[in-house]
Amino acid sequence: MDIIVIHDMENERFVADINGDKAYAAYNLEGDIIKLYSTFTPQHLRGRGIAKTIVETVFKYAMDNNLKVQPICSYVRSFISQNREYSDFVAN
């Protein structure tokens, strides 16, 4: 399954539309820090790597724009602990 993630800057979300169902990561941008406070994937779509793809997209955006990510959401904290290559882009 190809997952396309769109950055909805107006609503401060990175969104994937999967056959009409929306999965997303919500954030607040404060200075040069993306405060990633929530991720959501509909129950019937969980376990397919959608949230992982969305969070990877957030980190790519952060890297491309010299930003850091503050992991407020528990999923994002878990993602970082399992994907240490993103550690340099985590805000303290």
List, for residues 52-80, the tens digit of each pLDDT value: 999 999 999 999 999 999 999 999 999 99
| pLDDT score at 70 | 98
| Mean pLDDT, rounded, for 17-27 | 96
Does 92 or 46 have the greater pLDDT score? Answer: 46
Domains of the chain by residue range: 5-89
Written as one string, the DSSP assignment of 4-72 is -EEEETTTTEEEEEETTEEEEEEEEEETTEEEEEEEE--GGGTTSSHHHHHHHHHHHHHHHTT-EEEE-
| Mean pLDDT, rounded, for 9-36 | 97
| Mean pLDDT, rounded, for 37-54 | 97
CATH number corresponding to 5-89: 3.40.630.30
Question: Which region holds residue 49: left if phi is over 0, alpha if psi is between -120 and 50, else beta?
Answer: left
